[in-house]
Amino acid sequence: MFLRTALLVLRKDAAIEAKSWEMLTTTVFFAVSAVLVFSFAFVKEGQPLEDAAAGILWIAVAFAGTLALGRTFERERYSETLRALLLAPAPRPALYVGKLLGILLVLGIAELLLTPLVALLFHAALFARPLLLAALLVTGTTGFACVGTLFAAMLVRARSRDVLLPILLYPITIPVIIAGVRGTSALLASPPDEATAMMWIGILMAFDAVFVTLALWTFEPLMTE
Amino acid sequence: MNRTFAPLVALAGILFASAPYLIAQAPYESTMGLVQKIFYFHVPSWMAMYTAIAVCGVSSAIYLFRGGKTADAYAVAGAEVAVLFGLMGLVTGPLWGRKAWGVWWQWDVRLTTALLMQLIFVSCLLVRKYGGPGSEKLAAATALFGAATAPFVYKSVDIWRTVHPKTSVVPELLKGSMPGSGLPFLVSALAFVLLATVLMMLRVDLAKRQASLDELYLAYEDS
């Protein structure tokens, strides 16, 4: 029941997205243009700044994620479907999980494009350990998105929600970004520092466990009117 | 106002009055000398902040799951006092660090996480101020996340190798690692925690008065 509801919410969002392609195109375009701005700033005379690639990859993911998070609930607000969603005889946390999966899907596709782009523009050996990089990206994005989905959902009814989402989201998720950046730059070292990367993946998994638990626990009381 | 308020204020006053004398009497630390005495402000202000965070976290959870104006009043009070004492800790820390480590700020785990925790509580206050109606719940959730980071911030110095001293400094001091400094530390710690408590009580009282004033206005408009 729980998983089926979550998958139904995901399918609903995917169906809307497949019609308009709005969220995916805007998110990906924004992420790519952010990386381009960084490459103008940090590549001098053909030589990229050392260690810049890891930070730029994660900043692009965080910025694009904020944009996507704002959109996914804005859409529910415009068409006034949020109340219908909340009225459905389904466990509330399942709605949250469905929304979270949708965001993860969008960000995952954005990352598939971003990673080669950053590797290309910054001469970074991001694909030296593809599995470890994938693990870092998955755990890091989950940590970022699970807090983001919760706050974006709550902010739907607040005034000046566009400003408040980053204000709330960044202080809480900076640890995730730090762990992601450190882990990625450990992989970029030559030779890749696998032990350090594994340590940061472990820390990210601990973050994910804490954040997902807290979010599932607080989603229900937060979304009651 | 609560009946325990006046005695608490008196006790805090006595402790604050005697603390400078006791701190002046305390021995100089062998390597850092006079600068080390900032310890009697720095550590107690973080202890006061953890107290405020505990109050804020617990009352935010109660507010989220049960509701009620009192829990909300305690959550605001806790968050505001936590930011105040955290700011004191963040000011005294660099002053000490400049002399002890030679730099104002170091991006080590304890300093970074403490700063982030402060940012979470500042954002909690910002949401409450600018979020419009219904933002109390949002602020409560933010505070809950902030309170969840507090144990990590506290234990971070034991887990990672940092320039910041470990948490074991305080128990060792009380056991007599630096004879003559235990009592001054206890007095200043108690004074700061009491100050935080008194401030929170005042803030809760203010919130309650605001609420009853709002009710009176509403009743007047209805009549």
The pair of three-digit structure tokens given for residue B28, joined into one six-digit string:
């100089």
CB contact (8 A) between residue A159 and residue B132: yes
Give the model's confidence band at A137: pLDDT under 50 very low, under 70 low, under 90 confident, else very high.
Answer: very high
User: CA nearest B28: which of B20, B37, B19?
Assistant: B37
- Assess contact for A118 and A126: CB atoms under 8 A: yes
Give the dihedral sign, CA B169/B172/B176/B181: positive
Q: What is the pLDDT of residue A123?
A: 86
| Alpha-carbon gap, residue A196 to A182, rounded angstroms | 8
- Determine how many CB atoms are found less than 10 A away from the CB of residue B88: 17
Burial of residue B194 (CB within 10 Å: 0-12, 13-18, 19+) is buried
Residue A225 pLDDT > 70, yes or no?
no
B-chain residues near A146 (CB < 8 A): none
- Assess contact for A132 and A204: CB atoms under 8 A: no
Range of the domain at A189: 2-222
B-chain residues near A200 (CB < 8 A): none
E strands of chain A, at which residues?
43-44, 47-48
CB contact (8 A) between residue B148 and residue A163: no
pLDDT in tens, A152-179: 988 887 777 888 899 889 988 988 999 9
pLDDT in tens, B53-70: 999 999 999 999 888 889
B112 interface with A at CB cutoff 8 Å: yes
| Alpha-carbon gap, residue A80 to A1, rounded angstroms | 25
What is the percentage of chain A residues whose pLDDT exceeds 90?
Answer: 48
Cα-flanking dihedrals φ and ψ of residue B33, to 5°? 70, -135
User: Structurally, how many domains does chain B consist of?
Assistant: 1
Q: What is the pLDDT of residue B61?
A: 93
Q: What is the pLDDT of residue A106?
A: 93
Q: Give the residue from chain B lying closest to A212, CA to CA.
A: B145
Instruction: List the single residue in B116, B123, B137 with the smallest CB-CB distance to A167.
Output: B123
Range of the domain at B66: 5-222
At position A195, the amino acid (one-letter code) is A
Residue spans of chain B under pLDDT 70: 1
A-chain residues near B148 (CB < 8 A): 210, 214
> How distant is the Cα of A47 from the closest Cα of chain B, in angstroms?
27
What is the percentage of chain A residues whose pLDDT exceeds 70?
Answer: 100
pLDDT in tens, B64-94: 988 888 999 999 999 999 999 999 999 999 9
DSSP annotation string for B75-90: HHHHHHHHHHHHHHHH
> How distant is the Cα of B135 from the closest Cα of chain A, in angstroms?
7
Q: Give the residue from chain B lying closest to A150, CA to CA.
A: B141
User: CA nearest B54: which of B196, B204, B205?
Assistant: B196
Residue A198 pLDDT > 90, yes or no?
yes
User: Structurally, how many domains does chain A consist of?
Assistant: 1
**B108-112 contacts, C-beta under 8 A, 24 or more apart:** B108/B160, B108/B162, B108/B163, B108/B164, B109/B156, B109/B157, B109/B159, B109/B160, B109/B162, B110/B153, B110/B156, B110/B157, B110/B162, B110/B164, B111/B162, B111/B164, B112/A178
CB contact (8 A) between residue A168 and residue B138: yes
pLDDT in tens, A186-197: 998 888 888 999
A-chain residues near B146 (CB < 8 A): 172
> How distant is the Cα of B26 from the closest Cα of chain A, in angstroms?
39
CB contact (8 A) between residue A171 and residue B116: yes
E strands of A25-173, at which residues?
43-44, 47-48
Tell me how long chain B is: 223
CB contact (8 A) between residue A171 and residue B65: no
Q: What is the pLDDT of residue B100?
A: 85
Burial of residue A40 (CB within 10 Å: 0-12, 13-18, 19+) is exposed
A-chain residues near B123 (CB < 8 A): 167-168, 171
**Those residues with Cβ within 8 angstroms of residue B119's Cβ, 6 or more apart along the chain or in another chain:** A170, A171, A174
Q: What is the pLDDT of residue A213?
A: 92
> How distant is the Cα of A113 from the closest Cα of chain B, in angstroms?
30
Residue A60 pLDDT > 90, yes or no?
yes
